[in-house]
Structures are given as C-alpha cells and as structure tokens.
Copies of this chain bind each other. A is one copy, B any other.
Amino acid sequence: MEKRGLLIVISGFSGVGKGTVAKRLVKDYGYSLSVSATTRAPREGEVDGVDYYFKSEADFKNLIDYNGFIEYARYVDNYYGTPRMFVENELAAGRNVILEIEVQGALNIKRQYPDAVLIFIAAPTVTALKDRLIGRGTEKEAVVAKRMKRASEEAKEMENYEYIVINDELDVCVQNVHAIVISKRCELHQNLNFISETQEGFAQL
C-alpha cells in the first residue's frame, strides 16, 4: 500500500536560503513543490507556474469561493494562496509536498492538516544572516536593514514551529529536513496499521 505523502511547511528568515533548500529537496529526494497563486504582478524574470500562478483578482476570488485554496491571505493590496488541488493530488499519490509560507499560513495549514510538519529554517547566527544579506551585493543598506527588521519579527514566531533546522551548510540542512520527514514516517501513530497486521500475523501462525 502506497502511503499518503507528508506535507512539509517551511518558513524561515528572509535571506536564509529556504527557497534553495526547497529546490534541493525536489531535486535530491523527489519532493513536490507547491507553487502559490497571487494577484500581484509578475516581477522581471518571474515565470507563471514556476514562481507563482499569476491570477486576476476576479479569478483568485472565484477560487476562494470554490474552496480552491488550503490557505490564503491578503498582504497590502495582493492576495496569496496555496492551491488545494495540487497539494491534495500529490499527497494522495504518496509524494511529500513542500510549502514555503509564513507563520500565519503555516499555523492555518497545521489546523487543517494535523500531520503537516512545520519547519523553521534559521541562520546559524544573526551576524551570519546579516553577512549573507550584505554578501548578495545587490542589496542597498536600507534594503538589508529592512530585511533584518523583518527577520527580527520572524524570530519572534520561531516557537510556533515543531522543528528548527539551521542552514549553515546547505547539504546538511537539506539532509536534516529529509531526516525529519523520514522520522515522521517511523512515528508510532503512522504505523498502527502495520502493528495490527504484525500482531494478526503472529496470531495466525
């Protein structure tokens, strides 16, 4: 019997590299990456269906009405949402699905999917995070300050997550997230059917 996939919700500091972690989980371990829908305009280089599904506000609201999102939120003037059908289909097919999302969405998803795993990707130190943001070179000082401010807010939410994974070395971080997923598969409550079958197997000897 193919087991249902696991829903992995990844949040983390702006600039911590969680997008890269998610891509590596897709590449190395065959996870499915959920692509969000949004009403905001595509930025330069963004591809529809890869970075986001770009929707008109009318289409987005229509999807809301038809229960098409497992969660959605409005930020400033734009909607962002996680399309339900992709997530459901992938989980049913036994594939692990990654969502990259912020804390309110993560908690919202946990209420609907109690088996979802909430993982926060952290930088090893605050200094390391700042260095990483500055190191990109493309960001002006004001932008770095703004992102550090946001990370500082995000840090207040860390206790809402079930797992904290430090992204010091990317390979280790990716392996650790995968290890969490493997361990969830081995948890007692995921194996109650197997235990029943085993106990019945002995009874029939």
Residues of A within 8 A of B (CB): 119, 122, 125-127, 130, 148, 151-152, 155-156, 158-159, 161-166, 175-176, 178-180, 182-188, 191-192, 194-195, 198-199, 201-205
Contact = CB atoms under 8 A, between A and B. Distances in A.
B195 A158 contact: yes
Contact of A161 (B158, B165, B188): B188
Contacts of A163: 183, 186-188
26 contacts: A119-B186, A126-B204, A126-B205, A148-B205, A151-B202, A152-B205, A161-B188, A162-B187, A163-B183, A163-B188, A164-B186, A164-B187, A164-B188, A164-B195, A165-B186, A166-B194, A175-B182, A176-B182, A176-B183, A176-B186, A179-B179, A179-B182, A180-B182, A180-B186, A182-B183, A183-B184
Given A152-B205, A202-B152, A159 B186 contact: no
Given A126-B202, A164-B186, A183-B184, 12 more contacts: A126-B198, A126-B205, A127-B201, A152-B203, A159-B192, A161-B188, A163-B183, A164-B188, A164-B195, A166-B194, A179-B180, A179-B183
